[in-house]
Amino acid sequence: MGLIRMSLWLHALCLLLAFAIASTAHARKYDDVIKSQFIEFAVYRDFPPYSFLKDGQPAGIDIDIGKRIASEMGVEPRWFWLTADETVDDDLRNAVWKGSVIGRKVADVMMRVPYDREFSYAQDGYGLPRNDMVVMLAPYHKESWQLLRDLNKTGKVRNLAIFQYQPIGVELDSLPDFFLVGTYQGRLRENVHHYPSVFAALADFKTGKLSAVAGMRSQLEWGLDSKPHNFDIDNDGLESLGRKSWDIGIAIKHSYRQLGYAVDAVISDMVTNGEMEAIFSRYRVSYERPSMYDVES
């Protein structure tokens, strides 16, 4: 009787393992994507203007880019909604090469990844590559940190000294947050107001509770809806910020480069023929071509 129970237990365990393996999605090579007639993009959850739900439907810059890529490849676009982890390294692991602890599901392509040689070749504390399981390519936009000012409150002052006396909003734990509370020997600290998101800060800015908001240019522009003549967006005062701008592109698992090259070709055409700029314009976001497209005069 004991042997029979043991046999049944082992059989059930094998079935569970087989089901787990079968239900785990893996990043796929180019031929598999074409054969399946769909491609899955990892996009950040609730991250306008890049990826969000509008009336229950996927919307945003990255969604539109993904649809265009899928159309060019002759397949259906699908979306893997990614919740941001503690670091981009974690997001890459969860999105395209290993999957999260729960589910182990991954996408074929991850959108909105920093396209930066230093980041791509970064090493961990043991001198080993941090991101050797992924390839980052196809930059499609240059993002930047900016300041949105109400000129009726800040006047002609173009540095940060004004915020010793005027309130400025910032997303909690963002790079501008750390910078603003530490600059001017901490003299701005009392007037730096922390919010769970840039959009929460923008809500107070629009009602006059804040004189300025620091954040990503794309989110500041999208969140404004309209731009009165007394509202101004630039990076004046942020010259000492560690990184004022960075290119964004895609990431794929390192073993599926053919798929990455196919996506890269579509994105490159979109950048050069003006389609990319048109997508950003639809979301009221100023488009800036990535550094690799800069042509020396």
Question: For residue range 127-145, what is the model confidence (pLDDT) as tens digits?
Answer: 545 666 789 999 999 999 9
Are 220 and 257 members of one domain?
A: no
Residue 169 has pLDDT above 50, yes or no: yes
Beta-carbon contacts of 46 under 8 Å, excluding residues fewer than 6 positions away, are 52, 53
Beta-carbon contacts of 229 under 8 Å, excluding residues fewer than 6 positions away, are none
The whole model's pTM is what?
0.86
Name the nearest CA neighbour of 41 among 66, 10, 6, 17.
66
> Is residue 208 assigned to a domain?
yes
Give how many domains the chain has, as a whole number: 2
Q: Which residues pair with 234 in a beta bridge?
A: 147
Residue 199 has pLDDT above 70, yes or no: yes
**The last residue of a domain, from among 234, 256, 279:** 234
Tell me the C-alpha distance between 120 and 135, whole Å: 8
Name the nearest CA neighbour of 79 among 102, 52, 103.
52
Are 21 and 131 members of one domain?
A: yes
> Is residue 123 assigned to a domain?
yes
Binning pLDDT at 50, 70 and 90, where does residue 13 land?
A: very low
DSSP state of 1: -
205 contacts 148 by C-beta, under 8 angstroms:
yes
pLDDT of residue 100: 66
Burial of 277 (0-12, 13-18, 19+ CB in 10 A): middle
Binning pLDDT at 50, 70 and 90, where does residue 51 land?
A: very high
Q: What rounded mean pLDDT belongs to the chain?
A: 87
266 contacts 71 by C-beta, under 8 angstroms:
no
Binning pLDDT at 50, 70 and 90, where does residue 178 land?
A: very high
Say which residue the tokens 């042509």 belong to: 295
pLDDT of residue 225: 84
Are 34 and 136 members of one domain?
A: yes
Window from 20-29, 39-48, 52-61, 78-87 with minimum mean pLDDT? 20-29
Are 33 and 136 members of one domain?
A: yes
Residue 167 has pLDDT above 70, yes or no: yes
Binning pLDDT at 50, 70 and 90, where does residue 14 land?
A: very low
The model's pLDDT over 93-133, given as tens digits with 9 standing for 90+, comes to 899 978 765 666 899 999 999 987 665 555 555 554 566 67
Residue 187: both structure tokens together: 């003299």
CATH code (residue 152): 3.40.190.10
**The last residue of a domain, from among 198, 213, 234:** 234
Say which residue the tokens 């390519």 belong to: 137
Are 58 and 109 members of one domain?
A: yes
> Is residue 59 assigned to a domain?
yes
Tell me the average pLDDT across 235-244: 90
Domain ranges, residue 150: 144-234
The model's pLDDT over 287-297, given as tens digits with 9 standing for 90+, comes to 999 988 876 43
Burial of 256 (0-12, 13-18, 19+ CB in 10 A): buried
> Is residue 9 assigned to a domain?
no
Are 257 and 201 members of one domain?
A: no
Are 105 and 47 members of one domain?
A: yes
- The half-sphere exposure of 23 on its side-chain side, counting CA atoms within 13 A, is 8
* Residue 243 to residues 176, 187, 239, 293, Cα–Cα distance (Å): 10, 22, 9, 20
